[in-house]
């Protein structure tokens, strides 16, 4: 897989934060950086001349935004190979297509459109939920460095791409990796059910360690902390993000109930985490 990092930018402060994050990650990976600005098609049903004027105006604006973004990269990481590209189309679709060519896609939490009070932009959510490979949704503004990467582990094969990305990130950063496994308390699902909570915890701990062992053998230099907790996955993962530079979660990409449940966790983490979040889908 290429070490190309693609970042989407739309002129918003959140987008420029994403550019800075992407520049740092491309530098760590010794990869190239492509900055993309998407020009949406004319949104109003009026005479065609307006559409032509709209596209021309928006394309010129996109080039100005790309020039600003490129300047950020050259000042921050002058050795990174950076290129820019203007693409016409629907932003979420265009960015998903770009993701198929890249090692990772980086976007800001909020764009220039939508509601001012929204925590997460619709484009960011759409891309994170559907694009192949890692999609990084960058926290707004600067953040303290904790020297820790956190990853959600659930024991399923679908978590493997997230673990691969997490160990790679921890290795490149020289950071500790916190593997977080959250399991809901049984009495929350069935109040009359009684069981040995400690035995359940040991079972979940064993599952987590078994999944981590092959990755630890491949990356012996990465220090791993196993964090198994009884609690709601969204709350537990968001809590881990409070002391992490990057929080990584997987996406099963299944149909039916499994996809709906996991999708709710992904949305919850993206909305509630106070750090940069990477959602990793398996590449088909």
Q: Which residue has the higher pLDDT, 177 or 142?
A: 177
Please determine, for residue 58, whether its predicted confidence score (pLDDT) is greater than 60. yes
Asked if 85 and 34 count as a contact pair (C-beta separation under 8 A), the reply is: yes
* Residue-range domain boundaries for the chain: 5-138, 148-281
Mean predicted confidence (pLDDT) in 83-88: 95
Asked if 66 and 34 count as a contact pair (C-beta separation under 8 A), the reply is: no
pLDDT score of 212:
97
Quick one: pLDDT band at residue 253, thresholds 50, 70, 90? Answer: very low
pLDDT score of 222:
98
pLDDT score of 116:
37
Q: Which residue has the higher pLDDT, 259 or 154?
A: 154
Q: What are phi and psi of 192, to 5 degrees?
A: -90, 0
pLDDT score of 167:
98
pLDDT score of 128:
85
Please determine, for residue 34, whether its predicted confidence score (pLDDT) is greater than 70. yes
Please determine, for residue 45, whether its predicted confidence score (pLDDT) is greater than 60. no
pLDDT score of 15:
93
Alpha helices, DSSP H, located in the chain: 13-29, 48-76, 91-99, 122-130, 160-173, 186-189, 197-218, 233-241, 257-272
- Range of lowest pLDDT (42-46, 155-159, 226-230): 42-46
pLDDT score of 52:
66
Q: What is the CATH number of domain 148-281?
A: 3.40.50.12370
Asked if 3 and 32 count as a contact pair (C-beta separation under 8 A), the reply is: yes
- Range of lowest pLDDT (63-67, 116-120, 232-236): 116-120
Name the percent of the chain lying above pLDDT 70.
82
CATH topology for the 5-138 domain: Rossmann fold (3.40.50)
Residues 6+ away with beta carbon under 8 Å from 99: 6, 105, 127, 131, 132, 133, 135
- Report DSSP state, residue 98: H
pLDDT score of 107:
94
Q: pLDDT digits over 113-163, tens only?
A: 443 334 456 788 888 878 889 999 998 876 678 999 999 999 888 899 999
Question: At 241, is the secondary structure helix, strand, or coil?
Answer: helix
Residues 6+ away with beta carbon under 8 Å from 82: 23, 32, 33, 34, 35, 70, 73, 74
Say whether 148-281 and 5-138 share the same fold: yes
Tokens matching residue 126 = 């759409």
Across the chain, what does the average pLDDT equal?
Answer: 85
Sheet holding 276-281, edge to edge: 82-88, 33-39, 5-8, 104-108, 133-138, 276-281, 246-251, 148-152, 176-183, 224-230
pTM (two decimals): 0.87
pLDDT score of 119:
45
pLDDT score of 205:
93
Name the percent of the chain lying above pLDDT 90.
58
Bridge partners for 151 per DSSP:
179, 248
């Amino acid at each position: 897989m290429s070490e190309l990092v693609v970042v989407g930018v739309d002129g918003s402060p959140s987008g420029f934060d994403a550019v800075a994050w992407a520049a740092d990650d491309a530098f760590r990976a010794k990869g190239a950086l492509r900055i993309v600005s998407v020009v949406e098609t004319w949104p109003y049903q009026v005479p065609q001349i307006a559409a032509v004027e709209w596209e021309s105006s928006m394309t010129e604006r996109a080039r100005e935004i790309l020039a600003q973004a490129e300047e950020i990269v050259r000042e921050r990481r002058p050795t990174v190979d950076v290129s820019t590209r203007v693409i016409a189309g629907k932003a979420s679709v265009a960015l998903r297509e770009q993701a198929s060519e890249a090692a990772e896609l980086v976007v800001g939490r909020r764009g220039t459109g939508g509601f001012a009070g929204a925590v997460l932009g619709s484009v960011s959510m759409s891309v994170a939920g559907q694009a192949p490979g890692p999609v990084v949704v960058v926290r707004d503004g600067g953040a303290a460095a904790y020297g820790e990467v956190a990853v959600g582990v659930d024991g399923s094969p679908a978590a493997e791409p997230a673990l691969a990305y997490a160990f790679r990130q921890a290795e490149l950063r020289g950071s500790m990796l916190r593997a977080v496994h959250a399991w809901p308390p049984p009495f929350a699902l069935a109040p009359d059910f009684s069981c040995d909570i400690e035995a359940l915890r040991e079972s979940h701990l064993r599952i987590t360690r078994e999944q981590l062992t092959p990755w630890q053998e491949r990356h012996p230099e990465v220090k791993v902390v196993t964090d198994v907790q009884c609690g709601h996955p969204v709350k537990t993962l968001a809590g881990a993000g409070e002391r992490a530079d990057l929080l990584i979660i997987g996406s099963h990409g299944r149909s039916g109930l499994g996809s709906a449940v996991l999708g709710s966790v992904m949305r919850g983490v993206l909305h509630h985490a106070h750090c940069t979040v990477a959602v990793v889908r398996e590449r088909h």
